[in-house]
């Protein structure tokens, strides 16, 4: 049976609906579904282009394998990334404090980690990081309703700023 979630920018009053890709990313979908609701401060990507994301503490009993990977997400893709605190400690990314504050403990207790839950809202995205190189993400969901409204809100977020806004994920 298909499972759906709502992805929202509450301050802007915008919500879209996404289908979980249980057939392509079953481990990731199960981890996200079991942890919902999830969310946090929203950020707009600088390098990947048309992406918004929230950083949350790790929530899976074990980090998902790289299932259904991509480096070229398309509009409507929901992606899952895991980063260690050392990968996000460059001030040019603007979220090193958030990674320090929100990061939890990974399976390796000596490394703090943070999970990045992202929504891609337009074309021509490329997951490359100037410090890390290619950064494949797990595509675990796809927006099936409301992407046009969400894309408008994401453009507003890019132009007007993200301060005070959050990105929320919950069961539909």
Please give the average per-residue pLDDT across 30-49, as a whole number: 94
The per-residue pLDDT for range 18-27, each reduced to its tens digit, is 999 999 999 9
pLDDT confidence of residue 99: 42
Residue 87 pLDDT: 74
CA distance 98 to 123: 27
Does residue 131 carry a pLDDT above 80? no
Structure tokens at 24: 């392509």
pTM: 0.88
Closest by Cα among 115, 154, 125, 136 to 7: 154
Mean pLDDT of 119-132: 90
């Amino acid at each position: 049976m298909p499972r759906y979630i709502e992805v929202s920018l509450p301050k802007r009053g915008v919500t879209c609906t996404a289908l979980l890709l249980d057939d392509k990313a079953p481990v990731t979908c199960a981890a996200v579904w079991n942890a919902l609701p999830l969310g946090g401060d929203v950020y707009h990507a600088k390098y990947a282009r048309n992406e918004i994301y929230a950083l949350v503490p790790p929530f899976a009993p074990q980090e998902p394998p790289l299932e259904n990977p991509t480096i070229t997400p398309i509009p409507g893709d929901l992606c899952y990334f895991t980063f260690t605190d050392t990968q996000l400690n460059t001030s040019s990314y603007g979220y090193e404090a958030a990674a320090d504050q929100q990061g939890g403990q990974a399976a390796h207790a000596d490394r703090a980690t943070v999970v990045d839950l992202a929504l891609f809202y337009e074309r021509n995205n490329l997951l490359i990081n100037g410090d890390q190189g290619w950064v494949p993400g797990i595509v675990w969901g796809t927006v099936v309703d409301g992407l046009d409204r969400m894309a408008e809100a994401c453009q507003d977020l890019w132009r007007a700023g993200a301060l005070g806004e959050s990105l929320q994920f919950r069961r539909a």
